[in-house]
Amino acid sequence: MLGNYFETAIRPHIAGRFADMLRAVVEHTSMIRYLDQSASVGPNSPAGQRRHVGLNENLAREVLELHTLGVNGPYTQTDVRQFAELLTGLGIGPEGTKFIPNRAEPGAETVLGQSYGHGRPSLDAIEAFLEDLAMKPATARHLAGKLVTHFIGPEHPQDLVEDMVTAYLADNGSLMAFYRVLLAHPAALSPQAQKVRPPFEYIITCFRATGITQEILESITPREMRESILKALEGMGQQPFHPPGPNGWPEEAEAWITPPLLAARISWAGKLAHDHASQIDPRQLLDTILGDTAPGELSFAIAAAEAKWEGVALLLVSPGLMRR
Amino acid sequence: MTLSRRKFLGRSLLLGCSAAASPLVTPVTWASMPGENRLVVIILRGAMDGLDIVQPVGDPAFAGYRQKLKTGEAAGAHELDGFFALNAGLGDLMPLWRAGELAFGHAVSTPYRDKRSHFDGQDLLETGSGASDFQFSANQNGWLNRMLTLLPGADIHTAFAVGRERLLLLEGDAPFSAWSPELSFNLSDQAQNLLGMIYQNDPLFKNAITVATEIANEMPEPQMNNARPGSAKILAEFAAQQLNGEARIAAFSIGGWDSHNRQANLIKRQTGTLAEAILALKETLGANWGSTAVVAMTEFGRTVRENGSAGTDHGTGGAMLMAGGALSGAKVHGQWPGLGELDLYQNRDLMPTRDVRANVGWMLRDLFGLSVSDLERVVFPDVTLGDNPRIIA
């Protein structure tokens, strides 16, 4: 089900407006279940009165904290409650996401100083708020900060974030506006490699480095996939589709390189090199991958390796390959 | 021993001078060792509902807030002291209570207020920061690491982070060990040398490989057994094995406490896990249980009123659990704020009456002989320890 979430709620909107992505995410059945929206009922709605059930504020809080304004953004506990009331009715029917008016809290709600949901309860009121929320400067700042942290690193010029905010707001909340400013900035062109590739990205990098092609990967059995890839990802701290919390995978390099997690990377990459890279010349591969940026100690260590595959293994576990 | 020497030790390890090889780091350099007392810190991630774990059944207002969520006798809770009752899921710990080896702190919290974010709340719990509005910065470190810097004779073997994930609680200048019981990691001397070479200029990798090779060489091969890898029971057994050796401090986390929906089911599962972990510590520690204190703490409590889906939402004040033979006795520590509407924090949450750091601070003082002024200055800046609740005998 999470695969569907990525394919239908995230990917189609990567180059579109953030408001559209936000709406798709909030209204996806995976999200509605994951953050308990399906269990939230307006206490004064017909369903709430009859079944003595009420609000669950989980989705409302995380949308404001994680997906839009950010934890230091301009919202209060009252906004969380009011937004939770506004979200009531959003639920799941037999055929997927469904607005169930019977569960919607009657009357308008005031969220972030603005009133929503006059008249009959409907999905439109929720979507109107999400549209406004996507266009808040605090949302733009939070998103820009996340993108810069992801693609450049925790240490980045603040003016870059502000330039991205301005461009996003001027371009009707288009994500492309973010990317244009980000990619044109000098900081993006001379990266300091502050980050560590998360495990999924890391194993793809290793596959590409050692010539493990898509055809080879497609030919392996589900059992081999589980043993050689899924278990490895878990050992490196990234069980697919199971991030530690609703805030997703960590960005900090420190989170991915603890002693046990690094040991898991070394064990896996060593086996990969041993089993599949005995014919690769590590010195050539080093030159192909790192070129001029290869540090002297790595060239020296690779030259000192006793077998070709050991040299490849050293390259695969080197900071130059794990960092980006 | 001065702090600067301590810091030098931290740096030197980062630079790859192994503890065993450095003449500066032999035990004879110090007059004393960390002693016999042991501490286990368990971080309960997701915000445990303290009111469901240690239920204030003697408070006349309590039952009214919890209708779908059964409490007290109706939920099989175990009578503790006439006012509080223990959640049925922790029933296996009642023998510890009767033996004076189980205690709680109630109406406790960190200084974190109002935004009620798990992630900031946990960072604040682990850094021991005094800020009510948390802003994380990269150079922050964990309070347990700062405590290590004060501990005479502490070295890389003294404190152990158990599990694969990063544990901010133990990060900082003082060296510590980190390993996970299911791992097997055997490198030839040649491989170790070459890895040491390629990581020499990257402190993050350098430190991780130094710890990994040093620890892995000392570890027995992982044992096959029926428990789920990475389960709290396995982590606890592994932690206890380290404490039976050179380690005096171990820490790990148990996640999954975020009970927004159908809390009864979730709490049943979680309390089972927690009880199992504590009993595994006791059993594996054997005689050393007598000199051990366990403290389990969470980022914040949950709403006093149950929510609309038989769960609770993010709150403020909550409960902490202590266990071990080093405790002074079975007691629910703390000053009860009451549950009348005017007694609640923002008419919503249990009003905290004590900083969780003050209780932990006194435990550190009484277990390891640290001074109150060092605790208030280095370990928990901005906290006032106040009166000693005498959690430790």
User: Residue B361 maps to which CATH number?
Assistant: 3.40.720.10
Across the interface, whether the CB atoms of A36 and B311 are under 8 A apart is answered: yes
Tell me, yes or no, whether A100 and A163 share the same domain. no
Q: What integer pLDDT is reported at residue B185 of this predicted model?
A: 84
At B187 the pLDDT is 82
Give DSSP secondary structure letters for A83-145. HHHHHTTEEEETTEEEE-GGGSPSS-EEETTEEE--SS--HHHHHHHHHHHHT-HHHHHHHHH
Quick one: A18 and A129 in the same domain?
yes
Residue B20 has, within 13 A of its CA and on its CB side, a CA count of: 8
Output the pLDDT for position B4: 36
Nearest CA in chain A to B181: A260
Closest Cα of chain B to A260: distance in Å?
5
Selected for mutation to probe chain B from A155, A238, A262 (highest B CB count within 10 Å) is A262
pLDDT score recorded for residue B225: 55
Number of domains in chain B: 1
Rounded-to-integer distance, Cα A52 and Cα B63, Å: 16
* Domain end position, chosen among A134, A152, A167: A134
Name the average pLDDT for chain A. Answer: 94
Q: Say if CB A258 and CB B166 are below 8 A apart.
A: yes
- A54 is a domain residue: yes
- pLDDT above 90: residue A251: yes
Helix (H) or strand (E) segment spanning residue A210: none
Residues A152 and A225 occupy one common structural domain: no
pLDDT at B227: 57
- Domain end call among A90, A119, A134: A134
Residues in B touching A52 (Cβ below 8 Å): 67-68
Please report whether residue B305 resides in a domain: yes
Range of the domain at B257: 37-175+225-379
**B149-199 residue pLDDT tens:** 999 889 989 999 999 888 999 999 999 999 988 888 878 888 889 999 999
Average pLDDT over residues B217-230: 64
Which residue in this structure is represented by tokens 């371009």?
A171
Q: Which chain A residues are Cβ-neighbours of B209 within 8 angstroms?
A: 259, 262, 266
In a domain, B12, yes or no: no
pLDDT of residue A188: 86
pLDDT tens across B14-52, in order? 333 333 333 333 333 334 467 899 999 999 999 999 999
Are A259 and A299 members of one domain?
yes
Q: What is the pLDDT of residues A73-92, one digit of tens each?
A: 999 999 999 999 999 999 99
Domain count, chain A: 3
User: What residues contact residue A194 under an 8 Å CB cut-off, 6+ apart?
Assistant: A152, A153, A154, A155, A253, A323
pLDDT beyond 70 at B302: yes
Beta bridge partners of A115: A110
Please check the confidence at residue B231 and state whether its pLDDT lies above 90.
no
> Which among A115, A134, A153 is the end of a domain?
A134
Query: Same structural domain for residues A122 and A9?
Result: yes
Counting residues of chain B whose pLDDT is more than 70, the rounded percentage is: 87
Same domain, A163 and A258: no
Does residue B353 sit within a domain?
Answer: yes
A277-281: long-range contacts, CB 8 A cutoff, minimum separation 24? A277/A210, A277/A308, A277/A309, A277/A312, A277/A313, A278/A307, A278/A308, A278/A309, A279/A308, A280/A210, A280/A211, A280/A308, A280/A309, A280/A312, A281/A308
Examine residue A194 and state whether it is found in any structural domain, yes or no: no
In a domain, A57, yes or no: yes
pTM of the model as a whole? 0.87
Q: Give residue A50's domain range.
A: 2-134
Q: What is the pLDDT of residues A155-170, one digit of tens each?
A: 888 899 999 999 999 9
Say if the Cβ atoms of B309 and A39 lie within 8 Å.
Answer: yes
Q: Give a yes or no: residue B211 inside a domain.
A: no
| Residue B139 banded pLDDT, cuts 50, 70, 90 | low
Q: Are residues A11 and A107 in the same domain?
A: yes
Per-residue pLDDT tens over the stretch A100-122: 999 999 999 999 999 998 888 99
- Tell me if A273 is assigned to some domain: yes
